[in-house]
Structure 1
Amino acid sequence: MALLGGHFDLIPDPRRDHGKRHALSDIFGLALCAITAGADSFLAIEAFGKARLDWLRRWLPLTHGVPSHDTVRRVFALVDRRHFERSFAAWAQEAFRKTDGRVVAVDGKRLRRARDAGEPMLTVVSAWATEAGAALGQVTTDDGEGEVSAVPRLLALLDLSGCIVTTDAAGCQTDIAKQIVDGGGDYVFGLKGNQAGLREQAERWMMEATLSGDVDAFETSERGHGRVETRRYWSAAVPDEALRRLLWAGLTSVGMVESTRTVGGKTSTEQRYFATSLAVDAETLARSVRGHWGVENGLHWSLDVSFGEDASRTRTDHAAANLAVARRVALTLLRAETTAEGGAPTKRMRCAWDADYLATVLRLE
């Protein structure tokens, strides 16, 4: 099997030749098949391999049989996660057709149990293509590194041309804005206290544009589960003189979203502000903002509920980060397969029961 278009076959093998029995591609292929079919631990990966050995040998040599769970764990710990991350990004961008205006949400997720007591929590920063429902890449924070420092490394792995990159307030940084614009993309940044000056400017520009009537508006409303939520979006241009004073590459407009929610007879209202390189267009702003919110349900929630990521205690060296890559690849493949009904948990069970369906999900046939 040319694992995922052969991209993962290019990863250097860190093991010594002496005593090496299992090919790196066999170990990766086994792990991906097993994780897609419901395995959430190294022991389960070995058990899947033994149960499906004859089927696996249709795609993988497995000359020396199924590697033990200790061997799989050791390899995942040894392989530098940066190699895994680069291969993942190269495969995802080749596998999923890119279209202009695609929203790419960049957000971090902590691996809460993947650490020893007293050690910093590992954070995986992912890029999520909202419309495709596909993870496009990930990077893991280095020791002592914050999430914001990891974002430029993730963006460097991606083709940003024609994309709308969204981040929460933590990613609202001048160097990140420049990197996105230089890469041919646009950005939509949430504004909070870390950019208090820009947020105050955005509030003032929005107020002035509203008073003069130079503002674009869009509205959506949703009802369900005893809740009524109305969202109003406004988009206004940044004045030319302000652009000359500011250091934000490509900054063109600001946006405001007002969410009014009624639950159980109680109504609450929240306002949020955004800085963006997009032209004044409230409907595009709405699509971008909603697209960013989708990363929580589409990626993070699915990883915890369907793959038990938050409960995983794998922590040795690169193992946690590399397993995170494998989960994102599996989730992306499961979401891309549309012939069967159900979400990721149901499809994982079907992959365990039906080897032909597993081959379809993995694009082997």
Structure 2
Amino acid sequence: MPSIMDAFAELRDPRCRQCRYPLDEILFTALCAVLCGVEDWETMVLWGRTQLAWLRKHLPYENGIPCEDTFRRVFSGLSPVAFERCFIEWVACLCPSLAGQHVAIDGKTVRGNASNGRNALHLVSAWCSGNGLSLGQIATAGKSNEITAIPQLLKALDLTGATVTIDAMGTQHAIAQAIIDAGADYVLMVKDNQPTLAESLRDWFESVQSGGLDRPYWEHTTHDKGHGRIETRVCRVSDDVQWLSEMGQHWAGIQRIAMIERTRQIGECISVEHAWYISSRPVKAIEMSRLVRAHWGIENQLHWVLDVFWGEDAHQTRDKAAARNLASVRKITLNLARMEQQRRSKKVSLKNIRNLAAWDTDVRESILGLA
């Protein structure tokens, strides 16, 4: 594993050259503190001062640990774009090829960042379901701005050979083209933000199921039972896509159309939902069903984990740049913790990986690649 501090060696210090507290020491303290469960500036300072002897094994710390205002000013002054670029390059060293991997892209609002009528920071993230790693992030002004942010994130990643899934917000001609241009495939959800396409897919599948249209398709059914709920998912996929271009629906590289029907029963209450997809990947129903389900892992294994175990939504950093840089630090430490968890065959929870990093310096050094 490449040294995490080497990955950020090119970051420019936003302060003047004569500084009592070098940038690498501030970054190293913040990274280690967050890995060990710290969630705010004040606790970061306390953690650093109690761990100063250990920290000095790796960097000089001639003037000790700075106050919380120094941490706040440095993280506010650091370029988030440069920080995110370093993060993406570091992850690319950990995962040099995404060929054959599934990459989910989705947005999340950092709610604690909102103040005085200003919108909270909104981040679009890429996540690899195969290894559970966060691949990178980019900030937007809000959820509606994801359309312009997603192509920037796609451009920053080497997606050659990957399959990219995005919810309906990302179902745009330019985004589909960008994924194809990157040498990847897409699976895109279709909703009413593409009304003509959504209605066409709905009518096509209804006609096929009713027998009014004779077209072949693949079908795969799964059943789940738990927590007092029974859920049945039926995935239908067809390679009959020529009629879309005849209607003026030109989507780059499109190979498949799909529908997923979810029937959920809780007691006597039964509900049915439908979702439609387009795909450039020539898959059959069983793989399409797997990709669609895997997409929501970004919610459960990235966004939810960041909120519940890393306290992201509760962190009330008002400055946008500082909040964005801290979000990168949290994702870095989540990646480190997840890799350690995988080395332990997932026998230890992410929460306890952080506890071990806090309690045992040998474990901490192993996680950071310092051992």
TM-score, normalised to structure 1, is 0.94
| Identical pairs, percent | 38
Secondary structure of the corresponding residue to residue 310 of structure 1: coil
Shift of 1:184: 0.4
Mapped pair 1:263 → 2:266: yes
Cα separation, partners in 2 of 1:145 and 1:79, compared to 1, 3 Å: farther
Residue 197 of structure 2 contacts residue 249 of structure 2 at CA under 8 Å; is this kept in 1? no
Shift of 1:146: 1.5
Q: Secondary structure of 2:313's partner?
A: helix
Select between 139-148 and 180-189 the one with higher mean Cα deviation: 139-148
Partner of 1:220: 222
CA distance 1:220–1:144, change in 2 (3 Å): closer
User: Which residue of structure 2 lines up, in the alignment, with residue 288 of structure 1?
Assistant: 291
SS at match of 1:166: strand
Counterpart in 1 of 2:280? 277
Q: Equivalent residue of 1:6, what SS? A: helix
Asked if 1 retains the 8 angstrom alpha-carbon contact of 2:2 and 2:369, the reply is no
Listed one character per residue, the Cα deviations across residues 148-172 of structure 1 (whole Å, up to 9, x for unaligned) are: 2211111111111111111111111
Partner of 2:8: 8
Asked if the contact 2:137/2:153 (under 8 Å) is kept, the reply is yes
The worse-fitting range, judged by mean Cα deviation, of 54-63 and 194-203 is 54-63
Aligned equivalent of 1:350: 356
Structure 2 matches for 1:152-163, cutoff 5 A? 152-163=151-162
Partner of 2:145: 146
Spell out structure 1 runs of 4+ moving beyond 6 A: none
- The more displaced of 308-317 and 169-178 is 308-317
* d(CA) in 1 for partners of 2:6, 2:207: 55
Maintained 8 Å contact 1:253/1:276: yes
1:359 match: 365
After TM superposition, the structure 1 stretch with the greater mean CA deviation from structure 2, 184-193 or 201-210, is 201-210
Q: Does 1:322 align with 2:325?
A: yes
- Contact 1:77–1:319 under 8 Å retained in 2: yes
Instruction: Give the aligned partner of residue 27 of structure 2.
Output: 28
Paired residue secondary structure (2:188): strand
Structure 1 unmatched runs, 5+: none
Gap change, CA 1:76 and 1:3, over 3 Å in 2: farther
CA distance in 2, matches of 1:267, 1:324: 40
Residue 5 of structure 1: how far off its partner (Å): 6.3
**Displacement, 1:180?**
0.5
Change (3 A) 1:43 1:5: closer
Alpha-carbon distance in 1 for matches of 2:311, 2:291: 28
Q: Deviations over 1:203-250 (max 9, x none)?
A: 234345554351011122112222221111111124325336333211
- Give distance in 2, aligned partners of 1:33 and 1:349: 12
TM-score, normalisation: structure 2: 0.93
Residue 67 of structure 1, CA deviation: 2.3
Stretch moving more, 337-346 or 172-181: 337-346
Partner residue of 1:251?
254
- Provide the aligned C-alpha RMSD in A: 2.0
Count of residue pairs the alignment pairs up: 364
